[in-house]
Amino acid sequence: MMQLIAYPPRSEWSELLKRPAASAQSLERAVEEVFTAVRENGDQAVCDFTRQFDGVSLESPVLPETEISRLAELVPGHLRDAIDLAYENIRQFHEAQKTPAVRVQTRPGVDCWQEKKPIDKVGIYIPGGTAPLFSTVLMLAIPAAIAGCREVVLCSPPDQAGNLHPAICYAARKCGVRTVCRAGGIQAIAAMTYGTREIPAVYKIFGPGNQYVTQAKQRAVREGVAIDMPAGPSEVLVAADDSANPAYIAADLLSQAEHGRDSQVLLLTDDAELPGAVRRELETMLRELPRREIASDAIDNSRMILLESSGEIAEMINQYAPEHLIICHRQEEFLLREIRNAGSVFLGNLTPESAGDYASGTNHTLPTNGYARQYSGVNLDSFTKAITYQRLSDRGVREIGPAIITMAEAEGLSAHALAMKLRVADLHEIPNKKEKEDA
């Protein structure tokens, strides 16, 4: 059960807020082995590792379109309706993130502008196994489609029959994803990094995963492939006081704990009675939870921390930088003003973290492991890059040409200076020629 730490001194905060982590050295060895094999042996290596890690023998890692359609048709009507509702909300929220081109005349005759262009080829990784996250298909494929990405490659680990969950296939088909691959873990990231005969290489890889997937994505960066963020095991921090419902808090903590044994959940409070009430609810709910063994292990590695004030709560939140932050506290306005580091925030007793996971419209692919200090969650801009443009007229050359020449010469870059000197000289010649002709 979650350990309670009461009024810890600040000197102990860093130790209390450490995330569970595997040995980086062992992760790197495993990732390097798989990347080398996939680079050298392509699809065969992908299938070999799928047999080794998932216990499934496949002829091909790619799921044929006819099979995608067949599996999609197996989704029951009530689940289709739920996915359709979530699709519309996520699409609406991400459509609203479109921004017009930025145009500025920095000096007379100097026009500068910026336009966003889609990343042509993106890969989306969808965790599978014991919890096939078909909702992640919506979170990644919808903004990819809105951005205008030309090719989307989906990879997800197969089940014991060598198939993907029907809801993954339904969501993929609804979002227009045509390349769907039965490959998970390190081998999927490696395949999208290098490309194989059947799995296309991509320019950027998106999607959550365990520590092996996270390490593999970071390895992909060394091969020139961008990633959304180094997202790892899921986490939630709940900041609450006596205005919160203990049962709601317990359910919110368990909703993250059931993701995996390496998930971490935290409760911060300045109310001494709340931890006991939440613990009682956790004990009751865990007995009924289908994934109770996984959730129990995560809960055992997590903490309730009793603090002196809402000010200390805000400080600890910023230090921890949670992936998900739930605030059920009378000082909500103060906390929102003070908090700078969080992936996504859920406010009030009626807003569970699962709302953002599925259907409110915000994206659930978020920075974990403290990366919310410097990374945003996935959004429409994640699937685009900005290109800047500029055009100088003769007036523009006269306005900024001398400054450019001066700066280039001061840096010792003579050719840079020459490029502008030639243009300045030609513009001086044009009026001179006209004067001679008039004479």
pLDDT tens-place string over residues 329-349? 999 999 999 999 999 999 999
Higher local confidence (pLDDT), 128 or 363: 363
Does residue 22 have a pLDDT over 70?
no
Query: By the 8 A CB rule, do 46 and 61 touch?
Result: yes
Residue written as token pair 């296939």: 169
Cα separation, 27 vs 228, whole angstroms: 20
Does residue 185 have a pLDDT over 80?
yes
CB atoms within 10 A of CB 14: 10
259 is in an annotated binding site: yes
pLDDT of residue 233: 80
Cα separation, 377 vs 365, whole angstroms: 6
Same domain? For 41 and 164 the reply is: yes
Tokens, residue 189: 């990231």
In a domain, 138, yes or no: yes
194 is in an annotated binding site: no
Same domain? For 187 and 237 the reply is: no
Sequence-separated (6 or more) residues with CB below 8 Å from residue 153: 121, 122, 123, 124, 179, 181, 192, 199, 200, 202
Does residue 438 have a pLDDT over 80?
no
pLDDT of residue 21: 67
Could you say which of 228, 261, 287 is where a domain stops? 228
Which amino acid is located at 248 in the chain? Answer: Y
Same domain? For 300 and 248 the reply is: yes
Same domain? For 161 and 132 the reply is: yes
Same domain? For 219 and 165 the reply is: yes
pLDDT of residue 209: 84
Has 409 been annotated as catalytic?
no
Kindly state the percentage of the chain with pLDDT values over 90: 87
* H or E stretch covering 240: strand 235-240
pLDDT of residue 439: 47
Q: What is the mean pLDDT of the chain?
A: 94
Mean pLDDT for 298-309 is 94
Mean pLDDT for 174-186 is 97
Q: Is 114 left (phi over 0), alpha (psi -120 to 50) or beta?
A: beta
Q: What is the CATH number of the domain that holds 417?
A: 1.20.5
Mean pLDDT for 311-333 is 98
Query: Predicted confidence band at 19 (pLDDT cuts at 50, 70, 90)?
Result: confident
Kindly state the percentage of the chain with pLDDT values over 70: 97
Query: Predicted confidence band at 432 (pLDDT cuts at 50, 70, 90)?
Result: low
In a domain, 109, yes or no: no
329 is in an annotated binding site: no
In a domain, 388, yes or no: no
User: Which own/partner pairs from 371-378 qualify as long-range (CB within 8 Å, at least 24 positions apart)?
Assistant: 371/229, 371/230, 371/231, 371/321, 372/321, 372/322, 372/323, 372/341, 372/342, 372/343, 373/321, 373/341, 375/229, 375/230, 377/229, 377/343, 377/344, 378/139, 378/140, 378/143, 378/206, 378/228, 378/229
Tokens, residue 108: 């007379």
Give Dmax over CA atoms of the chain in angstroms: 101
pLDDT of residue 431: 59
Task: Summarize pLDDT for 232-285 with one digit per residue, the tens.
Answer: 788 999 999 999 999 999 999 999 999 888 889 999 999 999 999 999 999 999
Q: What is the CATH number of the domain that holds 326?
A: 3.40.50.1980
Same domain? For 296 and 367 the reply is: yes
357 is in an annotated binding site: yes
Residue written as token pair 């002829």: 59
In a domain, 273, yes or no: yes
Has 324 been annotated as catalytic?
yes
Q: Is 242 left (phi over 0), alpha (psi -120 to 50) or beta?
A: alpha
Question: In this structure, what DSSP letter does residue 377 have?
Answer: P
| 211-242 core/surface letters (b: 16 or more CB in 10 A; e: else) | bbbbbbbebbeeeebbbbbebbbbbbbbbbbe
* Number of domains making up the chain: 3
Question: In this structure, what DSSP letter does residue 150 have?
Answer: S
pLDDT of residue 434: 52
Bridge partners of residue 324, in order along the sequence: 236, 344
Mean pLDDT for 358-373 is 95
Catalytic residue among 94, 165, 324, 364: 324
Bridge partners of residue 236, in order along the sequence: 265, 324
In a domain, 340, yes or no: yes
Sign of the torsion angle spanned by Cα atoms 274, 275, 276, 278: positive
Catalytic residue among 323, 329, 353, 364: 323
165 is in an annotated binding site: no
Cα separation, 149 vs 134, whole angstroms: 20
Sign of the torsion angle spanned by Cα atoms 290, 295, 300, 302: negative
Same domain? For 276 and 362 the reply is: yes
Query: By the 8 A CB rule, do 45 and 182 touch?
Result: no
Same domain? For 214 and 237 the reply is: no
Same domain? For 36 and 166 the reply is: yes
What values do phi and psi take at 416, rounded to 5? -60, -45
Domain that holds residue 175: 24-100+118-228
State the DSSP string of 300-330.
HT-EEEE-S-HHHHHHHHHHH--SEEEEEST
Could you say which of 349, 376, 403 is where a domain stops? 376
Tokens, residue 398: 């006269």
Does residue 112 have a pLDDT over 80?
yes
pTM given for the model: 0.93
Same domain? For 218 and 242 the reply is: no
Does residue 135 have a pLDDT over 50?
yes
Mean pLDDT for 179-204 is 98
Same domain? For 216 and 269 the reply is: no
Query: Predicted confidence band at 210 (pLDDT cuts at 50, 70, 90)?
Result: confident
94 is in an annotated binding site: no
Residue written as token pair 């309730």: 304
308 is in an annotated binding site: no
Minimum mean pLDDT among 121-130, 149-158, 249-258, 373-382: which range?
121-130
pLDDT of residue 216: 96
Which amino acid is located at 104 in the chain? Answer: V
Could you say which of 228, 256, 282 is where a domain stops? 228
435 is in an annotated binding site: no
